[in-house]
Amino acid sequence: MKPIMRKLIATLMAVAMFSACTDDLTLKPISQITNTSFWKSPEEARGALNGMYVRMRTQAATNFFVWGEARSEMWVQNFGFDPSINFFAFANSLSRVNPGPDWTAMYSVVHDANMILKYVPTIQFTAESDKNEILAQAYAMRAFIYFMMTKTWGDLILLDQPTEGFDPSTIYKERRPQAEVFAMIKKDIESALALFPSNNIPTGRVRWSKPALNAFKADVFLWTAKRLNGGAADFNTALTAIAEVEKSDVQLLGDFSQVFAFTNKGNKEVILAVRFAEGESTGRSVFGGVTPLAAPTAPFTPQSVIDKLLPYSGKDGYWQMSQLVTKQFSDDDARKNATFIEVNQTKEGVTSFLYNIDQKWPGVITGGVRVMYDDLILYRYADIILMKAEAQNGLGQDPSEAMNMIRKRAYGAKFAAHTFVNGTKAANDEAILQERLFELAQEGKRWWDLVRFGKALEKVPLLKGKTENDLLFPLGETILSLEPLVKQNPGY
């Protein structure tokens, strides 16, 4: 991957700028970095680790959401034409000319992990457990990035060593079958599990840990159980991983909205998040905002709504939650008002719909401006509980206890009217998928859920008449022109 790897060779220079910390990433300039001079101390190893997280955060700012939710039925066009490449994902009009975000920067994160895995074992640490934890995080990150990519593009180029030269036999590779990709992912997960020194979750919950890795492991094995014919064995493995998560310091918060409160980052429902902070990162690209042309100052909009929504800057105003989705929420469900606001106007006694605005990621108002520094939660306990229900149902077990844990919080005093009752496996699967829609909307999960449950072609209006081939993203002309051994996905 010549053009990609030319950029990757410079990774150490960027990585070395970051010093070790717990919650934030601070700059520490180091000059004249080479492989022989850099990998000498634990501090440099931690700097490289921080650099890996920074590069991943850049992808999480927008692309994780685009790959994981944009193509679902969750979003429809708002006001104006979206000038970004993401338009084609939201509109499900992807092509080799308009493929959406490509994989180049994701392979940069893989390269960072590979550098750590190659060079950190050569460094002397006072405590071996410190070295092992760095290696564990690198294995976990590499596995996670490959998981994101294989769900997006299917077969992948597999790299388990850093690319440190320009020899064509090294940099040009064919894609490997998805089964081999998952074999590598699962191997990396086990390598990381063996290296994490404890089941503790680090302060801030923004680094890989053993509980986060087990949450990820459950996610992987649910995917292969359903999409790669892993069946009962993989469902059982997922349940075992979930049991390990349940032993850690996690809990379901009593108030759903507090999971996402800006002042409550790193709460005990969070297992792993990507940290965004003012002065440290450029923030997230969060959808569901409004444009000046359709700001909530429109005539006849209630003042209470205007007060809550303004200022409207800071969000992407081109996309809003679809009424197809919002109308499925019950008024009894506390998640409704914590997830979106329906903005209406009343004129001459007639109330009409204007638009929906997301509420899960409201940002924070600083100096009269809304800035989008909400963390992106990758795994939280409610997600794991619903994974448990899914795995249990896959094995023919009763998922009622897990489902009702989620519903009790959602419906509160009105829970009795919404109690889940065990039914057929197919009916349970449909109910679990629906519960995940209500619980995890706007969290970058919906597209993956639809694909995993085999429901994307059925539930996404823009995919009616399409085939399984259309569930993968295409490879763009740029990638194909730069990678002579890489072939296009079927259907594109």
| Residue 186 shares a structural domain with residue 331 | no
Q: Does 31 have pLDDT greater than 80?
A: no
pTM, 2 dp: 0.90
| Residue 187 shares a structural domain with residue 303 | no
- Residue predicted with more confidence, 135 or 304: 135
Last residue of some domain: 351, 372, 393?
372
Q: Does 149 have pLDDT greater than 50?
A: yes
Asked whether residue 339 is domain-assigned, the answer is: yes
| Residue 44 shares a structural domain with residue 193 | yes
Q: Does 233 have pLDDT greater than 60?
A: yes
Asked whether residue 33 is domain-assigned, the answer is: yes
Within 8 A by CB and 6+ apart from 200, the residues are: 209, 210, 248, 249
Q: Does 293 have pLDDT greater than 50?
A: no
Q: Does 179 have pLDDT greater than 60?
A: yes
Please state whether 100 falls in left (phi above 0), alpha (psi between -120 and 50) or beta. Answer: left
Q: Does 23 have pLDDT greater than 50?
A: no
C-alpha–C-alpha distance, residues 94 and 66, integer Å: 12
| Rounded average pLDDT over 353-370 | 84
Asked whether residue 317 is domain-assigned, the answer is: yes
> Residue 20's domain is classified under what CATH number?
1.25.40.890
| Residue 186 shares a structural domain with residue 72 | yes
| Residue 22 shares a structural domain with residue 135 | yes
| Residue 33 shares a structural domain with residue 140 | yes
Asked whether residue 185 is domain-assigned, the answer is: yes
Asked whether residue 58 is domain-assigned, the answer is: yes
Mean model confidence pLDDT for the chain:
89
Q: Does 291 have pLDDT greater than 70?
A: no
| Residue 6 shares a structural domain with residue 137 | yes
Q: For the chain, how many structural domains are there in total?
A: 2
| Residue 25 shares a structural domain with residue 142 | yes
Q: Does 4 have pLDDT greater than 60?
A: no
Domain residues for the domain of 30 are 1-83+101-197
Last residue of some domain: 372, 392, 414?
372
| Residue 313 shares a structural domain with residue 190 | no
Last residue of some domain: 372, 402, 421?
372
Asked whether residue 254 is domain-assigned, the answer is: no
Asked whether residue 245 is domain-assigned, the answer is: no
Q: Does 175 have pLDDT greater than 90?
A: yes
Asked whether residue 53 is domain-assigned, the answer is: yes
